[in-house]
């Protein structure tokens, strides 16, 4: 039922929101540059890799050694608006349509984190990752990594269609209130560096 819902709703959303998607893409091209879409490999269901799509909100500015500048330097004013309105997530409708993601589930994080999850945290990959999730409506980037993983695993154990509907409604409210977009003192959120005892234990 969940996959059928994701397929039908993402198909309709891609059609209805196509003008918004096209206008956002054009503005990003004019204000930030190309490529318009940011593509990166992330772990999906069972940890299998897939490419997630997002609209760019940062520049590719690098230092003299070729390393990217910190997020707060590369995040543009227009990029902040895109993130505030969650417009950067729109290309993920294609991920949902393809079946790489669901509308609701743990957010797909970096591939490098898999090797430093403990066994409980690794359980977040027992379901498809989502555009939004229980952790996103309970703090998003403003909560600690530990709390975020706790919410993710709770969702895995308690997922239901009604819970998904509740999360989607709460997500809309969070977007309007612009809550939890970034961690205190950060443009987005600090990287996860593992637990006090690294590995899957």
pLDDT tens digits along 51-81? 999 999 888 777 777 777 777 778 888 888 8
How far is residue 76's CA from residue 99's CA, in Å, rounded to a whole number? 31
Q: CA 101 to CA 116: how far, in whole Å?
A: 22
Burial (CB count within 10 angstroms: exposed 0-12, middle 13-18, buried 19+), residue 65: exposed
Beta-carbon contacts of residue 153 (< 8 Å; ≥ 6 apart): 120, 121, 123, 124
pLDDT at residue 200, as a whole number: 40
Q: What is the mean pLDDT of the chain?
A: 88
Average of per-residue pLDDT across 132-137: 94
**Distance, C-alpha 78 to centroid of its chain:** 19
Q: Are 6 and 103 in contact (CB under 8 A)?
A: yes
Res 105: pLDDT: 97
With CA atoms as reference, report the closest residue to 52 among 23, 94, 12.
Answer: 94
At residue 199, the pLDDT reads: 39
For residue 92, the number of C-alpha atoms closer than 13 Å in the C-beta half-sphere is 23
How much is the pTM? 0.83
45-54, 107-116, 185-194: least confidently modelled range: 185-194
Write phi, then psi, for 171 (nearest 5 degrees).
Answer: -65, -45
């Amino acid at each position: 039922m969940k996959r059928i819902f994701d397929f039908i709703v993402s198909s309709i959303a891609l059609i209805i929101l196509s003008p918004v998607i096209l206008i956002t893409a054009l503005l990003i091209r004019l204000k930030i540059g190309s490529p318009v879409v940011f593509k990166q490999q992330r772990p999906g269901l069972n940890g299998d890799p897939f490419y997630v799509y997002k609209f760019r909100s940062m520049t590719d500015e690098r230092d003299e050694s070729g390393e990217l500048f910190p997020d707060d330097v590369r995040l543009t004013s227009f990029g902040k608006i895109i993130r505030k309105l969650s417009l950067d997530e729109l290309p993920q409708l294609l991920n949902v349509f393809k079946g790489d993601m669901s509308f609701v589930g743990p957010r797909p994080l970096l591939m490098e984190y898999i090797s430093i999850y403990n066994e409980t945290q690794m359980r977040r990959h027992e379901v498809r990752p989502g555009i939004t999730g229980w952790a996103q409506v309970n703090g998003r980037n403003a909560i600690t990594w530990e709390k975020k993983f706790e919410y993710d695993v709770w969702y895995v154990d308690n997922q239901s269609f009604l819970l998904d509907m509740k999360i989607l409604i709460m997500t809309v409210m969070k977007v309007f209130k612009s809550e939890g977009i970034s961690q205190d003192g950060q443009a987005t959120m600090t990287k996860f560096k593992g637990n006090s005892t690294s590995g899957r234990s």
